[in-house]
Chain A
């Protein structure tokens, strides 16, 4: 698809600003997201091409405005819901419980 991910040649995105001495992960949620996504792929819930496409389908503003691993989290959630492994309602309920506990 002619998605927001097809960025080659686009102007106006600003400087690259590489971070010196960048750690592999910037937050615990990035670690868990990376590990969970890879495990889901290893266990055959979806493949790399499918998650790439799920990410391509993100809201363009959200895609550009979010952290990289947020894309993976979006893709993994959507594909697991699509495949019936979890439901959106179950996820929202679990989030509410966890939010209440913190």
Chain B
């Protein structure tokens, strides 16, 4: 333990993470305090089952069904439950509609808050210092890094998820999609478009993420 006190805690060298978590998990299991199969199941859920396809489903429905979209904008948590989308870190949702005049972008400057049940676990860049520091200060330079350009006439709204409300961007429906069905539309909705760093895909391009 450090003998000085300068207001923060010290730990073992970070490169030892693998050893540290193995030691922690085995110790807890030996003491009968955890069921390691429960740990396995949590991993399985977030690695394979819960992800941005949940959000894409919601967005596609909003694009084709104006009444659903209205309900989504009024009470996002309840509307999403209609599609079976709900859960941890998405209990209190607000959906932000992008328009030609308004572009929304979501960040958590203080840590990494993110709507897990709708988008899965966040990518590293979302949780890292550069994005967290700059998204609130200079969102247009952030968008440019993702290849997203906006005109000067567009209002950029950045949402810092510092409390327990979680935000989801409803990206604009791309041009040339009038004849597409809901499932095909959902394919155009990328995770990045629901965070707000990118627009939804236009039809004909390969899906990225």
Q: Which of chain B's residues have a CB closer than 8 A to the CB of A77? A: 11, 20, 24
B46 touches which one: A24, A68, A95 (CB < 8 A)?
A: A24
B121 lies within 8 A of A34 (CB): yes
Q: What total count of A-B pairs have CB within 8 Å?
A: 172
A31 lies within 8 A of B146 (CB): no
Interface size on B, residues (CB 8 A): 57
Q: Judge whether B26 is part of the interface by a CB distance below 8 angstroms.
A: yes
Q: Which of chain A's residues have a CB closer than 8 A to the CB of B183? A: none
Q: Judge whether B67 is part of the interface by a CB distance below 8 angstroms.
A: no
Q: Which of chain B's residues have a CB closer than 8 A to the CB of A43? A: 33-34
Within 8 A of A (CB), among B1-45: 1, 7-12, 14, 16-28, 31, 33-34, 38-40, 42-43
Within 8 A of A (CB), among B137-190: 137, 142, 145-146, 160
Within 8 A of B (CB), among A5-36: 5-11, 13-22, 24-29, 31-36
A residues near B (Cβ < 8 Å) are: 1, 5-11, 13-22, 24-29, 31-36, 38-40, 43, 52, 54-55, 57-60, 62, 64-70, 73-74, 76-78, 80, 85-86, 88, 90-91, 94-95, 98-99
Nearest chain B residue, comparing its CB with the CB of A28: B18
Can you list 16 A-B contacts (CB < 8 A)? Answer: A13-B133, A14-B130, A16-B134, A17-B125, A25-B43, A25-B47, A36-B39, A54-B9, A58-B11, A66-B14, A67-B14, A68-B124, A91-B23, A91-B24, A98-B22, A99-B19
Interface of B is mostly: helix
B22 touches which one: A32, A38, A74 (CB < 8 A)?
A: A32
Taking the nearest CB of chain B, how far is it from the CB of A20, in angstroms?
8
Most buried by A among B33, B34, B129: B129
Q: Which of chain A's residues have a CB closer than 8 A to the CB of B27? A: 86, 90-91, 94
A74 touches which one: B11, B111, B134 (CB < 8 A)?
A: B11
- Given contact pairs A18-B146, A34-B43, A74 touches B9 in the complex (Cβ within 8 A): yes
Nearest chain B residue, comparing its CB with the CB of A10: B133
